[in-house]
Amino acid sequence: MARKGLLLILSSPSGAGKSTLTRMLMAWDATMRFSVSATTRAPRPGEADGREYFFRSRAEFETMVRDGQMLEHAEVFGNFYGTPRGPVEANMKDGCDTVFDIDWQGGQQIRNSALGRDVVSIFVLPPSIAELDRRLRTRAQDSDEVIAGRMAKSRDEISHWAEYDYVLVNRDLDATFEQLKTILQSERMRRDRQPGLSDFVRTLNKEFEAR
Ligand SMILES: Nc1ncnc2c1ncn2[C@@H]1O[C@H](COP(=O)(O)OP(=O)(O)OP(=O)(O)O)[C@@H](O)[C@H]1O
Ligand SMILES: Nc1nc2c(ncn2[C@@H]2O[C@H](COP(=O)(O)O)[C@@H](O)[C@H]2O)c(=O)[nH]1
């Protein structure tokens, strides 16, 4: 049986560090594929179309939804975000794992979809609300108004933590990344144990028979 790709979903309140952790994971594991979302929000300085996001107009986004091209989509902080279905299905077919940086609404939709059995979901919490605010400010990518809006929504996002398989408190970045790698390695072992071990146990049984 061909190996199935895992769907590793990372969610958190804005600024807790999931994009940073996702980038670290992509740099660490060359086989991991990043699900590039489509969004109607404007690009930040340094963001490129097709790399961080597919930047689309509202009309283009609505067409993608209407044509069934989205695996999930949601309104987040006044903009639309969605996961294009095609690349995720291609990754699964190739037996490659995919990492998603999406909010709780998207996490819920993918978990409840036909692909839900292959989901491993991780919620990232900030060490404190003051630190969350500090991280959004020091990232220096959003206006004060946008930051205030994101902080106001963070309580609601955090209220979904218990829906996730794993919860990480991102205090020290390197320590959190170690935990993330441990989760991935364990989940890969669980997925791979059947095909590999069946052959090995058959060999052990032959040894029993030869005694
Ligand atoms: N453990 C940490 N300690 C200190 N700073 C951190 C830590 N983790 C991430 N950061 C910093 O916090 C800021 C926000 O991180 P990041 O952009 O990854 O958050 P996010 O959860 O992806 O936010 P969004 O949902 O808005 O995309 C960045 O400047 C990042 O470098
Ligand atoms: N439901 C989805 N949420 C998504 C997707 N892509 C990103 N996001 C989430 O939106 C917020 C804001 O992101 P930002 O890049 O503007 O800071 C954050 O929580 C992302 O995780 C998606 O495809 N679907």
pLDDT tens across 195-205, in order? 678 888 999 99
What mean pLDDT do residues 153-173 have? 98
| Residue 205 placed within a domain | no
Q: What is the DSSP string of 71-89?
A: EEEEEETTEEEEEEHHHHH
Q: Which ligand is nearest to the CA of 160?
A: 2
| Residue 201 placed within a domain | no
Q: Is the pTM of this model over 0.90?
A: yes
Domain that holds residue 87: 7-196
ipTM surpassing 0.85, yes or no? yes
For position 36, which CATH number holds?
A: 3.40.50.300
Total structural domains in the chain? 1
| Residue 2 placed within a domain | no
| Residue 84 placed within a domain | yes
User: Any residues with Cβ below 6 Å from ligand 2, and which?
Assistant: 14, 37, 41, 72, 74, 76-77, 81-83, 101-103, 105-106
Report which ligand 1 atom has the smallest distance to the Cα of 142: 26
pLDDT tens across 57-79, in order? 999 999 999 999 999 999 999 99
| Residue 208 placed within a domain | no
Q: Which residue has the tokens 């807790």?
A: 16
| Residue 68 placed within a domain | yes
| Residue 117 placed within a domain | yes
Q: Which ligand is nearest to the CA of 106?
A: 2
- Other beta carbons less than 10 A from residue 120's beta carbon: 21
Please state whether 114 falls in left (phi above 0), alpha (psi between -120 and 50) or beta: alpha
pLDDT tens across 77-118, in order? 999 999 999 999 999 999 999 999 999 999 999 999 999 999
Cα gap 152→169, rounded to integer Å: 20
Task: Quote the tokens at residue 178.
Answer: 């170690």
| Residue 211 placed within a domain | no
What mean pLDDT do residues 133-161 have? 95
What mean pLDDT do residues 40-65 have? 97
Residue 194 in this model has a pLDDT that exceeds 90: no
Interval between CA 17 and ligand 1 midpoint (Å):
3
